[in-house]
Amino acid sequence: MVTRYPTVDELARMDTQAVFDHIAQHLLAQGARSTHRLTGDCLYRSAKGRACAVGSIIPDAVYSAAFEHNRITRLFWLLGRPEFRTAHHEFFCDFLLANSTLLTQLMVIHDCGSPGLWSLALRDCADMFGLSAAVIDRYEGIVEPEARDGQGVFEPSAGIVEHEASDVLA
């Protein structure tokens, strides 16, 4: 379950650290991917009340079911359509663009990494972006510690190289 979707005003006040903290806290509290129950495709918001990394920061005033099954890069196109030409949608489009590198990295963690490895991958992501990983400390031990033996550790920096933004599904 998503901790809480931020409002547009709250999202506007978030700096990079706050965006990371919100998404990391959400992913670790949820402890599972947000996926379609039949296809297994990652979803911004699922019928089970889950949200992916990017889905967790889409305000209710911005979210549309039309976003589902579209890569983050396709959201820019969708947000340019007449039905999404509101101040809130324009702001969110600018927000996605300004935070695209971090958001893409967090999407790779959600979409490609095992939930049991998320805390390690999120720590690596925080290090890569020069962010504090303090939010993760509150969730240590909640997620399965399957990576403690050092095998299969997901390398988030490798995810960006291996998965171009157009290959990453939300």
Which residue, chain included where needed, has tokens 């650290």? Answer: 17
Dihedral of CA 23/157/40/83: which sign? Answer: positive
Low-confidence stretches of the chain (pLDDT < 50) are 143-170
DSSP 99-155: THHHHHHHHHHHHHS-GGGHHHHHHHHHHHHT---HHHHTTTTTS--TTTTSTT---
Which residues have C-beta within 8 Å of that of residue 141, sequence separation ≥ 6?
none
Name the DSSP letter for residue 26. Answer: H
What local confidence, expressed as pLDDT, does residue 141 receive? Answer: 54
Q: What is the pLDDT of residues 3-38, one digit of tens each?
A: 689 999 999 999 999 999 999 999 999 999 998 988
What are the Cα distances from residue 32, in Å, to 7, 141, 170?
23, 15, 14
Instruction: Say if residues 127 and 43 touch (Cβ distance below 8 Å).
Output: no
CA separation for the pair 46, 48 (Å, rounded) = 5
The DSSP secondary-structure symbol of 51 reads B
**Res 59: pLDDT:** 97
Residue 3: the pLDDT is 65
